[in-house]
Amino acid sequence: MPEGNEVHRWAARHNAAFAGRKLNVLPGPNHRFGDAHLVDGKKLVCVHAVGKHLGYEFTGELYLHVHLGRFGDFTEGTGPLPEPKGLLRAVMQRAGSGKSHRSVKGDAHALTGPYNGAPSKDDGTQPFPPEDVDWWELRGPTDCSVYDAKKWQALLDRLGPDPLANEPGDHDDPKRAFDKILAKKTSIAELLMDQTILSGIGNIYRAELLFRHRVNPFTPGEAVPLKTLKAIWKDSIPLLKAGMVDRRIVCTEKKDRPSGKVVAERGEEHYVYRRHGKPCFVCGETILRKDVAGRTLYWCPKDQKTTPAENASALKQGTSLRASRGASSRRR
């Protein structure tokens, strides 16, 4: 699932590509985007990003809201649009664009230059400077619909502070997130993922931030020292920014990487995320995992000082998550 870093990256690119221009906004062939005509042909004012939500603001105070969810993704390109393929939900295109056609698929790596090897599968978008992007296609989002100003504002009001916030307003002030966390008995692991408390932090960053600050993920919010919450917030900003630029989430420090290299090698980007069953880079203890509120949590029992009972609740190595999941909830 894209976390805040990825969403803010799309916003920055699409601002550069489309802001101030008249655009064609079209539904895919399955017609699951019935609102397209509301903004088609209008001028894009700018693209907003808050947490995991994108808002393409058009003249007339209309916002095309996109939430990528777990499976949504953009494909970008230059020149004429390709034939609609797959589960295409929406297309955005510069009105009157297109001469030579250059596809995003194909020899992406040859065009990328110093490419870090992002785990994302859609790394084909990397070669395009945003000013060359004539169109994007959107597939698999949780939402793609047009909001009026009131509905957009209501969404903003629901979302917690965002470490990547770059807009006026209170999304850059973490105080209300701290207040909420300190009033709750819910585990800090769950609270960090709750988008009404903090927006933009997903499963990778929550696991890694808790490890980096040596916090037991099962600690109730009310028992986490304010000093630790402040440190987590402060730390999240450069981590998310780096992920935004690189399209690769790297949370390990050079000194902790087995390779000792400045650029993390494959498999040493994270301390705990998806490293269950492997030894901790710092203490050597085996990393554990468990399903919490429908998403898998990873932790180091020694560095994060979890209790024997908490450790015993971890999934046994080799257990299928699907089998353990049952009635799970999705978080936005």
> DSSP readout, 213-240?
TT--TTSBGGGS-HHHHHHHHHHHHHHH
Which residue of the chain is nearest Zn ion when measured via CB?
A: 280
- Enumerate residues 6+ apart whose C-beta is below 8 A from 17: 76, 94, 130, 131, 132, 133, 134
Site stretch for Zn ion (CB under 5 A), options 79-87, 126-134, 192-200, 303-311: 303-311
Q: Is 3 a catalytic residue?
A: yes
Binding residue for Zn ion (CB under 5 A) from 144, 251, 300, 314?
A: 300
| Residue 95 in contact with Zn ion, rule: CB under 5 A | no
Between 236 and 306, CB nearer to Zn ion: 306
Site stretch for Zn ion (CB under 5 A), options 86-94, 123-131, 160-168, 281-289: 281-289
Binding residue for Zn ion (CB under 5 A) from 73, 123, 303, 310?
A: 303
**Which amino acid is located at 153 in the chain?**
Q
Q: Are 52 and 118 in contact (CB under 8 A)?
A: no
Binding residue for Zn ion (CB under 5 A) from 39, 62, 201, 280?
A: 280
# residues contacting Zn ion (CB under 5 A): 7
Site stretch for Zn ion (CB under 5 A), options 12-20, 84-92, 138-146, 276-284: 276-284
Token representation of residue 163: 């470490």
Min separation Cβ 282 and Zn ion, Å:
5
Q: How far apart are CA 56 and CA 49, in angstroms?
A: 9
List phi, psi (to 5°) of 13.
Answer: -65, -45
Site stretch for Zn ion (CB under 5 A), options 6-14, 110-118, 141-149, 302-310: 302-310
Catalytic entry in 208, 295, 301, 310: 295
Q: How far apart are CA 235 and CA 232, in angstroms?
A: 5
| Residue 272 in contact with Zn ion, rule: CB under 5 A | no
Min separation Cβ 275 and Zn ion, Å:
10
Catalytic entry in 52, 89, 139, 247: 52
Min separation Cβ 10 and Zn ion, Å:
34
Q: Is 295 a catalytic residue?
A: yes
Closest CA to 92 of 108, 81, 104: 81
Binding residue for Zn ion (CB under 5 A) from 87, 226, 283, 321?
A: 283
Q: Are 33 and 144 in contact (CB under 8 A)?
A: yes
Q: How far apart are CA 182 and CA 258, in angstroms?
A: 36
Between 237 and 282, CB nearer to Zn ion: 282
| Residue 282 in contact with Zn ion, rule: CB under 5 A | yes
Q: Are 32 and 89 in contact (CB under 8 A)?
A: yes
Between 104 and 280, CB nearer to Zn ion: 280
User: What does each C-alpha distance from 27 to 60, 67, 144, 214, 248 come to in angstroms?
Assistant: 20, 16, 10, 47, 30
Min separation Cβ 214 and Zn ion, Å:
9
Q: Is 310 a catalytic residue?
A: no
Q: Is 61 a catalytic residue?
A: no
Site stretch for Zn ion (CB under 5 A), options 57-65, 212-220, 244-252, 292-300: 292-300
- Enumerate residues 6+ apart whose C-beta is below 8 A from 34: 27
Between 235 and 256, CB nearer to Zn ion: 256
Tell me the sheet residues that pair with 316: none
> DSSP readout, 284-306?
-PBPEEEEETTEEEEE-TTTTT-
Residues designated as active site: 2-3, 52, 295
Interacting residues with Zn ion (CB under 5 A): 280, 282-283, 285, 300, 302-303
